[in-house]
Amino acid sequence: MGSKGAVAVLGAAAVVGVYAAWRETQRKEAQQQAVIMPAGYVTGGAQQKLAALQQGGGQGGGGGGGLRSALVGWGVDTLFDAISRNGWLGGSKGKTDRPATSGGLGGLVRDTLPTGATNTNSAPTGGGIGNRLMRDLMRDFGFTRAQAAGVVGNLDHESDGFKGLQEYNPIVKGSRGGYGYAQWTGPRRRQFEAWAAQNGHSDLSTYEANYGFLKYEMSQTWEKRAVDRVKQTNSVEDATKVFQDTFLRPGIPHTSSRIQRAQGYV
């Protein structure tokens, strides 16, 4: 076997080893969470996560899409976080404009249903914030009401009705977890904080900071692809799923909760 072949074999073995270690770590994490979480949350979150990891697939089956999404998201965030910190692609350190999952580690590691929520099929609870988002999204992006509702229903779900801006109990031990209407996590949370500082928003909990960064991501970064895809939909259900998969990319999506919340804004 030539030197290139040996390198390829070693590289493949390393990838398999990292994958196995990662999956075992997340399986144990999910088991621990399933024990400590309240029963209402366990049935909607941690137990589904554990089942997905044990079966090698995501919620709803279909050949492991959720697990692959988590692993890919984990790898992308880790790689680009290193690039951002070290300035390997030029420019100033600590800044990069690249795709990352809202949930940091692909969404499967951090269940997108906030800890403490007991109902994964909830009516919208965002009230004035949700209605304000509807108006601004329709004005700024030309969404129909159904399309805007798909976006807002997702954000309502992510932030527990815009009440849980800080992730209640981050699964990744020692991390800060997600923050904001979209529960920006890891590199995307740091980008939110940097954008807010540069634009005079000292309080990240305000509507202006959250909508401002959301608008920035949806108009000036790679994430803007979600806008065109949402605008191709003709129903609130489709708009919700497209924004979920394109902009947020959770590993265990709880799609029914997102749709039910979105329907309340139509």
Question: What's the pLDDT score for residue 11?
Answer: 65
Q: Higher confidence at residue 150 or residue 12?
A: 150
The secondary structure of the chain, three-state, reads: CCHHHHHHHHHHHHHHHHHHHHHHHHHHHHHHHHHHCCHHHHHHCHHHHHHHHHHCCCCCCCCCHHHHHHHHHHHHHHHHHHHHHHCCCCCCCCCCCCCCCCCCCCCCCCCCCCCCCCCCCCCCCCHHHHHHHHHHHHHHHCCCHHHHHHHHHHHHHHCCCCCCCECCCCCCCCCCCCECCCCECCHHHHHHHHHHHHCCCCCCCCHHHHHHHHHHHHHHCHHHHHHHHHCCCCCHHHHHHHHHHHHHCCCCCCHHHHHHHHHCCC
High-pLDDT (> 90) share of the chain, %: 48
Q: Higher confidence at residue 49 or residue 222?
A: 222
Question: What's the pLDDT score for residue 23?
Answer: 57
Question: What's the pLDDT score for residue 4?
Answer: 61
Q: What is the mean pLDDT of the chain?
A: 72
CATH class entry, domain 56-263: mainly alpha
Question: What's the pLDDT score for residue 170?
Answer: 87
Question: What's the pLDDT score for residue 193?
Answer: 98
> Does residue 88 have a pLDDT over 50?
no
**pLDDT-based confidence at 201, cuts 50/70/90?**
very high
Question: What's the pLDDT score for residue 41?
Answer: 30
pLDDT tens figures, 211-239: 999 999 999 999 999 999 999 999 999 99
